Structure 1
């Protein structure tokens, strides 16, 4: 166990785009005696990299990191650079996506806390980190990381299925995603409806789904877009 620092020597950096929540954290931690700083997400024209650089330059011992940082996007990408810089990262998020929590732990975060947790839970976590105590059970950590792993594997499998589509099938799926009917796709492509229906059936078979809605939902969930060369 490491020797705890006096709280006044423990710099805690808050990386949070919700001003009211950040102010509440800052006040509570300051009253506990910690050296607290806030790192707001970048405004328009400021690169996300500049935000990360500012966070590292602040040399915090502990960072309380939100995952959804407005214009910055996904705070997950900050975890590894901060950990590499020697920062103890605690994710405090409104997301209830447990596989996402597991990814944060896999990347080096010490713990993930929901914003719905009592403020005292966040303070207790900061206190335990400063004292050198563990802040999450190994079983819980392993369970969350496994959830991420399972989801990651499932997504890879779905991308593998999408890769089986021919350029024309990619085009048809893209048109379905944009809300076109089989009749409209046939008209735009100057082919028969029967031809398009055959193409749609092939798409469903390769994706191993039973309906156009499921195929479209799968593609949207993965953030898939048809290749530019086939998009119309």
Structure 2
């Protein structure tokens, strides 16, 4: 009787190697796209909108830059941590994942403070929270905070049963991707809103061309990240004996 187990193992190994190579290419393309979005945002704000100054109307420019860095670039990279460093121990990855989330939140809070400060300047006195961009943006940040707190309780503190953690994990992934897409959607609305406020959007000046291109790059980045997160063969392979959490007292794996 012929035994095909070695052949099957070899085929699976080859498929895994090809998947890993494909994964590396997709991640490099995504990281390049995300970094390009940050650079383009910086150029747009410095070259066409006057740069940065916390003490006058240029304080607004911290808002788009910090939101792109925090709720788009850092947030997406935090989601990729478990896939990029697939051979590292889960406790370390959890720490990196959490730190990136905290950094994303810090950038976002400063970005929100900047836009509220701009609106409330005596020379401007612009109403707050009236646009769809502001509603979606604030909702995304609130959901982000809720997601972080619930995940901290579920995966860090030993409070939930294994079955509840396993059930929540799929929701955590879904809402993580959904919040990221919402963040990018809010950025696109903000770019359009800023272009209309300039008053000459229909003439498509250089500033509008760059911001439109930035919107395309952000959209491409969102598609790339969601695609990578959705590929089952790109996920970290877990051992059947690996627990799904870090217990603070025991230092176990997630």
Fold shared, TM-score > 0.5 on shorter chain: no
Which structure ranks higher in relative contact order (CA pairs < 8 Å, sequence separation ≥ 6)? 2
Q: Which is richer in strand?
A: 1
Task: Report which of the two structures shows the higher radius of gyration computed on alpha carbons.
Answer: 1
Question: Please, what TM-score do these two structures have when normalized by structure 1?
Answer: 0.28
Q: Which is richer in helix?
A: 2
Question: Please, what TM-score do these two structures have when normalized by structure 2?
Answer: 0.26
